[in-house]
Amino acid sequence: ITLQYFAVLREQAGCSEERVTTSASTPAELYEEARARHGFTLPLAMLRVAVNEEFRDWSSPLAANDRVVFIPPVAGG
């Protein structure tokens, strides 16, 4: 799975994208793995998730070679 990070998640991960091998079956499980690995401070409830460029539910199933984006709240001006 390819993970892409934006804003504060990119800063905390130290990268904007990474390829991972995972046993996670949902985006929620995948986020918890990434959170443990990178020390993400944002709770799941503050994020949105997109899989293969479409917003998805946190409990939707993942498949090999999916592209997952965790989208934090963004301040604008």
Cα–Cα distances (Å) from 69 to 1, 27, 34, 60, 64, in that order, read 10, 9, 12, 14, 15
Q: What is the pTM of this model?
A: 0.92
Q: Which two tokens stand for residue 11?
A: 């800063």
CA–CA separation, 37 vs 13, rounded Å?
A: 8
pLDDT of residue 3: 97
Q: How confident is the model at residue 76 (pLDDT cuts 50, 70, 90)?
A: low
pLDDT of residue 75: 58
Residues 18-75 have pLDDT tens digits of 999 999 999 999 999 999 999 999 999 999 999 999 999 999 999 999 999 999 987 5
